[in-house]
Structure 1
Amino acid sequence: MNAAIFEPIDWRNLKVKNRIFRSSISGRFDNEDGSGTQTRINWEEKFARGGVGAIISSYVPVTLEGRIMSGYATVHTDDFIPFWRRLGASVHRHDCRFIMQLSHSGRQQDVPGIVNQHRKVLSSTSRTESLHGFPCQAMTTAQVRETVQAFAQGARRARAAGLDGVELHGANGYLITQFLSSGINDRRDEYGGSLENRARFVREIVRAIRIECGADFHLQVKISAIDYNNVIPTEGRGNTLEDSIQVCKWLEQDGADALHISTGSLFPHPLNPPGDFSFNTIANTYENMISSGVYTLRNYFLFRYRFLRWIFYLIWFRQKWGKPVQGVGADAAAAIKKQVNIPVISAGGWQSGATISEAIGSGKFDAVSIARSLIANNDLVKQYARGLDLPDRPCTYCNKCLLNAPKNPLGCYEQNRFGGDYDRMVREILTVFEVPPGHWDGPPPPPPPSLS
């Protein structure tokens, strides 16, 4: 039933034992200076042990200023290469590949930390982000070129660490999206205006990485197939599928080995991740973001007070109506697959083994990436190998894992999946902080964030 899932991958620069990639999903597991911890290694190794073929790392900023949140490990200095080498070796022990996701938040910065507390972050634009109101400053041409080189140096460090490749995070509203999207990019120089100009930034990054790392190092690009840049109705619609198909063709020409297809002009977006929205959860964790943006206090009131929640509910859920949760981006990924000659990975709520196997087996795309369903069941791939379509306790798509992320440790917060036992749920979440004996020779990991 799940045979196509277990067909090995033999792409140009990447060999993987099966077709399941753990998608990027991040927790605040690291130190304020960007150095990594054993907790980060424990987190990634959970999924390698569970049977995935490859892990796309949690979001890894190429500059210290480019973090979504403080407490994320970065790759902005050669000093951190030994940490990433240890992490890669831990994953490789389980015959699992490790792909570092090179990233920069741009204006989409949830919790800035002390590094960015009192300055505007850099973006393609000086327009304040529309949902949370994150302030920003348009990069100068010199700063654009410096950032291109920061990505190239990040790739060099990933290769020096013995990792299996890199992914450029060009989706979901982060910096590369801020250049690509017609709904965000309002520049009047060579990096703005036409689609060709808006794509110049990511294309220069791909070329710079090829110069730095050569043609034999795996390089994939994650892109939002459709922006749906209308969470706030007054915004422009952003890039269409046709725009993204052209960008993907250019990326293939420039040397990309594979494409990872997502959706949305920001994160989270009503269609990414698909599923439910827990007002009780976000009301308890969004307070960590109140100082980050102009509109965050407004949003906090919409989440906190029941008589206001209907306003946000209508704005958010109007885009979900009539769309599936599983495979929400499958059609767009399949459309791109038809137009390029390099492999395509599809993101978007995947969990059913039979559905995944049918999509891959029919040639719609070459692999899928999964995050939340693997958080719920780290051994999901091993359950597929036993012939199961769905695990005994499947992910409910409640999104409580992501809504807890600004304040609490990353993990599954759907208490019903633990038989209603809160203590059992907490014990499972906190396993990532357990240090295996003799497993770490660096500084001690930070204490677990509060669960309050």
Structure 2
Amino acid sequence: MNADAAVLQEGREGLESDPIFTPLRFRNLTVKNRIFRSNIAGRFDNEDGSLTQTRINWECRFAKGGVGAIVSSYVPVAMHGRIIANFATIHRDEFIPLWAKLGEAVHSFDCNYIMQLSHSGRQMDLPGISNQHQPTPSSTDDREPLHGFLCRAMGTGEIARLVDAFARAAWRAREAGLDGVELHAANGYLFTQFLSSAINDRTDCYGGSLANRARFLLEVIEAIRAKVGRDFHLQVKLSAIERNNVLPWEGRGNTLEDTIQVARWCEAVGVDAIHVSTGSLFPHPLNPPGPLPLEVLAVTYDAMISSGVSGFRNFLFFRYPLLRPLFLAMWNRMRRGMPIEGVSLDEARAIKAAVSIPVISTGGYQTASFVREAIESGACDAVAIARSLVANPDLPKIWMLGRDQPERPCTYCNKCLTNAPKNPMGCYEEGRYPNREAMLAAITAVYRTKPELRLPRPDEV
């Protein structure tokens, strides 16, 4: 047994008193520790929405690293709700066995798997053939302001069909043997577009008052409970403060008080946990509030030029150094004075004080002492981590060894984010690797699959 293995074994024996590594018990689910891998992935899957071995490899990277549960990346309940092509969906019964294989793989590492059910609404980054050059369903006809994605306000009949699509998707997740579902009602996606006082301009029963704006989300929760019962884990991700005004002329959107009320309503209709984030578009300066490497976007953003009517304008800001300070001025004003680690922890604390169900907080976590204090102080019951785990998938095991931070921590450079439009998901901070070749090998490791090559059967042609 090597030195680290011996220390890890010794550390495990003393974890009973460490709040990070005590089990978290929800109403229908127990997670072995308080570390969740937050929703993040790349374009790993097939154009028809079916998942691949690459996605399984990606998720198992974090399960093996010691997280208690994985929240899947954004999983659309309809093909017209994908943010990016080649993201796996859950809109067909035929996909249940594929998700079952993924769940089985993650479970083999004593890790839970929670599927994040989603719909882009007007926030659609890179359309596929199923939703190309079409305004996407939303709460409004007003296009998304940053990239100019086109949209149209849904009718009430279309809303009812989408409510049913979410319920059937939750049923498929349960049939696949997964451990629960999360509704992505944060960061500017469809649920946010209904909840938001800055975006939702409807005059029917889905617009106006906060109760009306929350109606769509609450109807989905009730439909899921009617479909799968009360014994299947269901959580909701909310932006505690909307901060919709990255472009200064846009409205600020919902306040913390609004979100506390929505969280209470969610609990009342059967939600088991609240996952707290911030912001109403993606990327957002506070997810987490690191720098925005425009020199990377100058190379990758051309993939998005045709996605929205403002794409070419943005590309010019990223492409030409003289224009970059104008964009950065808007971006940086949102994050000025904000912490990177625990950026929305105070809001999580306020929500936790208002509900009786567990609260998960996301926001740049990678320091064990900081996370331990957040849990012990009652600010949250668990943390959800994305970028810091992309940099160090074995972060939980590093904490088990008694280290406060990894030897090579995440720098919050956001290069993983800005490479995503064109390149594989991964850590692109070259300074964290011995050389560039080592970085590329780490990024592409999940793609090392060897599918069987064979002639297709006649019925497959």
Which bracket does the TM-score occupy, shorter chain normalised?
over 0.9
Question: 1:120-199 counterparts in 2 under 5 A?
Answer: 120-199=135-214
**Residue among 260, 278, 284 paired with 2:275:** 260
Q: Which residue of structure 2 aligns with residue 417 of structure 1?
A: 432
**Residue among 427, 434, 437 paired with 2:441:** 427
Higher-Rg structure is 2
Paired letter, 1:426:
L
For 1:51 and 1:310, how far apart are their aligned partners in 2?
A: 41
**TM-score (ref. length: structure 2):** 0.94
The alignment status of 1:70 with 2:60, answered yes or no, reads no
Paired letter, 1:87:
L
For 1:279 and 1:200, how far apart are their aligned partners in 2?
A: 38
The alignment status of 1:240 with 2:276, answered yes or no, reads no
Paired letter, 1:168:
L
For 2:415 and 2:280, how far apart are their aligned partners in 1?
A: 21
Paired letter, 1:23:
S
Q: Which residue of structure 1 aligns with residue 409 of structure 2?
A: 394
For 2:444 and 2:430, how far apart are their aligned partners in 1?
A: 15
- Tell me if the contact between 2:301 and 2:421 (Cα under 8 Å) persists in the aligned partners: yes
Paired letter, 1:180:
L
Q: Which residue of structure 2 aligns with residue 448 of structure 1?
A: none
Q: Which runs of 5+ in 1 are unaligned?
A: 444-452
Q: Deviations over 1:366-417 (max 9, x none)?
A: 0000000000001000000000100000000001011111111000000000
Paired letter, 1:423:
E
**Residue among 186, 206, 220 paired with 1:205:** 220
- Tell me if the contact between 2:113 and 2:180 (Cα under 8 Å) persists in the aligned partners: yes
Residue 119 of structure 1: how far off its partner (Å): 1.3
The alignment status of 1:45 with 2:60, answered yes or no, reads yes
**Residue among 215, 231, 235 paired with 1:220:** 235
**Residue among 28, 40, 45 paired with 1:30:** 45
Residue 134 of structure 1: how far off its partner (Å): 0.4
Identity of aligned residues (%): 61
The alignment status of 1:340 with 2:355, answered yes or no, reads yes
Aligned residues: 440
Residue 204 of structure 1: how far off its partner (Å): 0.3
The alignment status of 1:54 with 2:35, answered yes or no, reads no
The alignment status of 1:111 with 2:131, answered yes or no, reads no
The alignment status of 1:98 with 2:113, answered yes or no, reads yes
Question: 1:344-383 counterparts in 2 under 5 A?
Answer: 344-383=359-398
- Tell me if the contact between 2:288 and 2:343 (Cα under 8 Å) persists in the aligned partners: no
Q: Deviations over 1:300-319 (max 9, x none)?
A: 00001000001001010011
Residue 273 of structure 1: how far off its partner (Å): 2.7
Q: Secondary structure at the match of 1:346?
A: strand
Paired letter, 2:143:
T
Q: Which residue of structure 2 aligns with residue 449 of structure 1?
A: none
Q: Deviations over 1:296-344 (max 9, x none)?
A: 1110000010000010010100111111000000000000000000000
For 1:143 and 1:406, how far apart are their aligned partners in 2?
A: 30
Q: Secondary structure at the match of 1:283?
A: helix
Residue 436 of structure 1: how far off its partner (Å): 7.0
For 1:273 and 1:112, how far apart are their aligned partners in 2?
A: 25
Q: Which residue of structure 1 aligns with residue 8 of structure 2?
A: none
Q: Deviations over 1:216-274 (max 9, x none)?
A: 00000000000111111111110000000000000000000000000001111111232
Seen in structure 2, the aligned counterparts of structure 1 residues 217 and 436 have a Cα distance that, compared at 3 Å, is farther
Q: Which runs of 5+ in 2 are unaligned?
A: 1-13, 457-461
Q: Which residue of structure 1 aligns with residue 9 of structure 2?
A: none
Q: Which residue of structure 1 aligns with residue 306 of structure 2?
A: 291
Between the two structures, name the one with larger relative contact order (CA 8 Å, sep ≥ 6): 1
For 2:219 and 2:450, how far apart are their aligned partners in 1?
A: 42
Structure 1, 219-228 or 110-119: larger mean CA deviation? 110-119
- Structure 1's consecutive aligned runs of 4 or more residues displaced over 4 angstroms after TM superposition are none
- Tell me if the contact between 2:90 and 2:172 (Cα under 8 Å) persists in the aligned partners: yes
Q: Which residue of structure 2 aligns with residue 320 of structure 1?
A: 335
Q: Which residue of structure 2 aligns with residue 276 of structure 1?
A: 291
Paired letter, 1:325:
I
For 2:353 and 2:37, how far apart are their aligned partners in 1?
A: 24
Residue 4 of structure 1: how far off its partner (Å): 1.1
Give the superposed CA RMSD. Answer: 1.4
Paired letter, 1:187:
R
Paired letter, 1:425:
M
Residue 118 of structure 1: how far off its partner (Å): 2.5
For 1:235 and 1:279, how far apart are their aligned partners in 2?
A: 22
